[in-house]
Amino acid sequence: MPAVTLNKDVFERLVGKKLPLEKLKERISYMGTDLESIEENEINVEVFPNRPDMLSEQGFVRAFSTFIGASKGIKRYDVKRSGEKVIIDKSVKNVRPFTACAIVKGLKFNDEKIREIIQIQEKLHVTYGRNRKRVAIGIYPFEKITPPIKFIAKRPEEIKFRPLEGKKEMTGRQILSQHPTGREYAHLLEGLDEYPVFVDANGEVLSMPPIINSHDVGKITENTKEVFIECSGFYFDVLSTCINIIVTALADMGGKIYSMDLIYPDKKTSTPNLAPRKIKTSRDYINKILGLRLNDSEIKKALERMGFNYKKGVVSVPAYRADILHQIDIAEDVAIAYGYDNFKEEPTKVSTIGEPDKFNSFCSKIADVIVGIGMIETNTYCLIDKDMQTKMCSSKMEVIELIDPVSKDYNSLRTWLIPSMLNVLKDNKHNEYPQDIFHIGAVFKRYPSTESGTTENFRLCIALCSQKADFTAIKSVLDYIFKMLDVTYYLEDAEHASFIRGRVGRVMFNNEKIAYVGEISPEVLSNFELTMPVACLELNLTELFRLISE
């Protein structure tokens, strides 16, 4: 978990209430955060990665204030329209396609506040931004910028500016090879012919995300009164939440928030949008999940204590809360407000003798076999981007889409495992090869006769990625698995749009189709930005276990 150091004086001033030391320690721990220590004027806490809004003094205090009753419900922030524009050029579409921006004015910086700004930027980069891959953040003195600002991609040789704390002007490529920060994050631009840059109306380079700001117009000082903030990445919803986290923290420092118009090639929008989101829940659902008997007024009080508003089964969620995706998350916050120490232990009314689940034992043995031949186990989410399952894999298979997804990243249930594995390989291109990985996980398909309309199966997926990854290599792994199970399969010729024709087979066992095995096609590899050959096996373990048992 990310550790955050809070200034105790700033913390108590923002809370507006000074608690005795022991009570302060107790209340911080009860919030669901881990208190490491309080030493002199420093409070050291560990914040769960799902609460990036608490990675600053201001965000932490906002949550703490409602929790102890110093305030309640959603804190409101005014957003004024600046009229300033950020023009997003079509050239960034395949490089880093989205940005969310804002201006905050009326700030008064000193060493402490500059430290706070640096801390929140660094912590968000590491956690919510996944080391700048998902989100890159830039904060600039707006007084030095001439709008409108343009977000554009240029060839590395055309990009010239003095990087932050650099001694001289460099090209984009020189920054990646010579500047310490450039070398650290160079893998994020690896293989690109053009790099993204923010430039102002005078052609002055503000930054080259996700690498580094300009030293001339990208460094905050005590003389800075107005700042321009941009978040860039691949998913607009993620960037929008990130910009909301930053501007609300700056507003709590005394700044005033101004929106900016974002001019995309095909649309126009503005950020930040601090309007609360609405999520429906019910008293019966919360009580069933928590095993309590709370009435509506008690639920309302608990949710206000956690910084929400609640009215007639509808929860208003602050725009800076990235962790609330479903009403189960609402129930969790009600539990925190209620107090885990207030839950009473109750013995179960049924006496049983436990034994390991046979299917889980079967899967564990399969995993042990695969680990034994030197493969690395991975883990991925059951929710995935629909396009990753279909378009990027040249597949037309039916997927189960979510009605109201919070993010494009997670807008459908996973129908098969290979797309997730290819995405893991894409995220690890900067690591050495060979990369031989596997995953055992659930997949979902439509099944109208069930209550949910879906059926769930567990599959094994193996991906070999190296210069030597081919049909022979992946089939030898398949042979080894079935040899260890002491059963026999046979292979049929098959066609599958994700595989190379003539290098893919259908695995048959007891006259039933249970797996695909083969080499991934160059088109699919290109869609996942992979330059190494990949050979995959996807095996239905649920069906294999049933057939072996029979």
HEC string of 26-65 equals: HHHHHCCCEEEEEECCEEEEECCCCCHHHCCHHHHHHHHH
Between 210-214, 268-272, 339-343, 362-366, the lowest mean confidence (pLDDT) is in: 339-343
Where does the pLDDT of residue 249 fall: very low under 50, low under 70, confident under 90, or very high at 90 and above?
very high
371-387 pLDDT tens trace: 999 999 999 999 999 99
- The beta-carbon contacts of 117-121 under 8 Å, at least 24 apart in sequence, are 117/220, 117/250, 119/4, 119/5, 119/55, 119/56, 120/55, 120/56, 120/59, 120/245, 120/246, 120/249, 121/246
Percent of the chain scored above 90 by pLDDT? 76
- The arithmetic mean of pLDDT across residues 469-475, rounded, is 96
Per-residue pLDDT, 170: 96
Mean pLDDT of the chain: 92
pLDDT at 185 over 90: yes
Per-residue pLDDT, 290: 94
pLDDT at 1 over 70: no
Which domains are delineated in the chain? 3-68 (3.30.56.10), 79-271 (3.50.40.10), 277-341 (3.30.56.10), 358-549 (3.30.930.10)
Of the CA atoms within 13 Å of residue 467, those in its CB half-sphere come to 1
440-462 pLDDT tens trace: 999 999 888 777 788 999 999 99
Percent of the chain scored above 70 by pLDDT? 100
Between 189-198, 307-316, 345-354, 503-512, the lowest mean confidence (pLDDT) is in: 345-354
Q: Which amino acid is at 158?
A: E
Per-residue pLDDT, 350: 78
252 close to 246: Cβ distance less than 8 angstroms: no
95 close to 153: Cβ distance less than 8 angstroms: yes
Does a cis peptide bond (omega within 30 degrees of 0) precede residue 147?
no
316-341 pLDDT tens trace: 999 999 999 899 999 999 999 999 88
115-139 pLDDT tens trace: 889 989 999 999 899 999 999 999 9
262 close to 100: Cβ distance less than 8 angstroms: yes
Does a cis peptide bond (omega within 30 degrees of 0) precede residue 434?
yes
270 close to 127: Cβ distance less than 8 angstroms: no
Per-residue pLDDT, 453: 80
Between 53-62, 155-164, 189-198, the lowest mean confidence (pLDDT) is in: 53-62
Beta strands in 60-156 (DSSP E): 79-88, 98-105, 135-141, 149-154
